[in-house]
Structure 1
Amino acid sequence: MRTEREKKLITKYWLFGGSGAMVLGSGLAVLLHGSKLAETNTGPWFWISTGGFALIMSGLSLIGDANRFRTLADVLQELDKRAQP
């Protein structure tokens, strides 16, 4: 059975992981759009591509935070197992 603290960490894991995946995918789409604009030499392709890179890095950061929350939840669960005889 999970404790309340573990449940909160798992909830953060899902929120940050899902948000990170969405932001990462959006960043890839924006970057590809900027690449297409650069090929046709139309529009402000540099700033669109830079925004795409920023979204990608933000998504990776969110996924990294999600990994941290999941690891903390697993550590708490392991410590609870060891504390019980």
Structure 2
Amino acid sequence: MRTPCEKKLITKYWWYGGTGAMLLGSGLAVLLHGSKMKEVGEDPWFWVSTGGFSLIMSGLSFIGDANRFRTMADVLQELDKRANP
């Protein structure tokens, strides 16, 4: 049985992980679009590609935070097992 604190951390894990995956995928799509714009010779390709790269980095940051929340929930669960054998 999970404590309320663990449930809160697991909820954050899913929200941050899902948001991170969405941002990462969107960033890859935008970055590839910028690459195609460069091939065709359209003018704002640099800014589109830069935006895609920033989305990718934001997604990775969110996924890293999700990992931290999951680790904290697992540590709380382990500490609870040790306190109540």
Same fold (TM over 0.5): yes
How far residue 43 of structure 1 moved from its aligned partner, in angstroms, is: 3.1
Partner of 1:50: 50
Cα distance in 1 for partners of 2:5, 2:44 equals 47
| 1:5-58 C-alpha deviation (Å, 9 max, x unpaired) | 000000000000000000000000000000000011113000000000000000
Amino-acid identity (%): 80
Is 1:77 equivalent to 2:77 in the alignment?
yes
Structure 2: which 5+ runs fail to align? Answer: none
Partner of 2:28: 28
Structure 1: which 5+ runs fail to align? Answer: none
Partner of 1:16: 16
SS at match of 2:60: helix
SS at match of 2:47: helix
Partner of 1:39: 39
Residue 46 of structure 2 aligns with an amino acid whose one-letter code is F
After TM superposition, the score normalised by the length of structure 2 is 0.98
How far residue 66 of structure 1 moved from its aligned partner, in angstroms, is: 0.1
Cα distance in 1 for partners of 2:52, 2:64 equals 18
- Aligned pairs, number: 85
Residue 26 of structure 2 aligns with an amino acid whose one-letter code is S
